[in-house]
A = this chain, B = another copy of it.
Amino acid sequence: MNGESGRIGTGEGESDVIISIDAMGGDRGVDVVVRGMGKSLKANPRLRFIAHGDADLLKRTIHPGTPLAERTEVRHADSVIEMDEKPSRALRRAEGSSMWNALTSVRDGASTVAISCGNTGALMALAMLCLRKAPVLPQEIAMLCLRKAPGVNRPAIGVHFPSLNPSGFNVLLDAGADIRADSDDLLKYAVMGASYARNALDLKRPRVGLLNVGTEEHKGRSELHDAAGRIAAVAPTSDFEYIGYVEGSDMPSARVDVIVCDGFTGNVALKTAEGTASLIRGLLKEAFAYSPLSRIGALFALTSLKRLQNRIDPRRSNGGVFLGLNGTVIKSHGSADATAMAAAIRLAFTLADHSFTRKLAARVGASDHPADAQQGLTP
Residue ranges of A at the interface with B (Cβ–Cβ < 8 Å): 84, 86, 162-164, 176, 179-180, 211, 213, 216, 218, 220-221, 247-253, 261, 263-265, 267-280, 282-284, 287-288, 290-291, 293-294, 296-305, 307-308, 311-312
- List the number of copies, as a whole number: 2
- Shortest Cβ-Cβ A-B pairs, 5 listed: A248-B271, A248-B272, A297-B300, A297-B301, A249-B275
- 11 more A-B contacts (CB under 8 A) besides A251-B271, A290-B304, A297-B303? A163-B279, A213-B267, A248-B268, A248-B270, A249-B278, A272-B272, A276-B276, A280-B312, A287-B305, A287-B307, A287-B308
Docked complex Cα distance between A164 and B269 (Å): 19
| Contact flag A288-B264 (CB < 8 Å), given A271-B247, A276-B277, A282-B164 | no
Q: Are A213 and B176 in contact (CB under 8 A)?
A: yes
| Contact flag A220-B264 (CB < 8 Å), given A284-B308, A294-B303 | yes
Q: Are A272 and B298 in contact (CB under 8 A)?
A: no
Query: Can you give 20 A-B contacts (C-beta < 8 A)?
Result: A179-B213, A179-B220, A213-B263, A213-B268, A248-B271, A248-B274, A251-B271, A252-B275, A261-B268, A265-B265, A268-B268, A268-B269, A276-B277, A283-B311, A290-B303, A290-B307, A294-B304, A298-B301, A298-B304, A299-B300
Chain B residues with CB under 8 Å of A311's CB are: 283, 287
Task: Tell me, rounded to whole Å, the shortest Cβ–Cβ distance linking A363 to chain B.
Answer: 27
Task: Tell me, rounded to whole Å, the shortest Cβ–Cβ distance linking A260 to chain B.
Answer: 12
Q: Are A250 and B264 in contact (CB under 8 A)?
A: no
Docked complex Cα distance between A299 and B304 (Å): 12
Q: Are A276 and B264 in contact (CB under 8 A)?
A: no
Q: Are B180 and A221 in contact (CB under 8 A)?
A: yes
Report which of B176, B179, B272, B297 forms a contact with A251, defined as CB distance below 8 A: B272
Docked complex Cα distance between A221 and B179 (Å): 7
| Contact flag A302-B297 (CB < 8 Å), given A252-B276, A268-B248 | yes
Q: Which residue of the partner chain B has the closest CB to A280?
A: B280
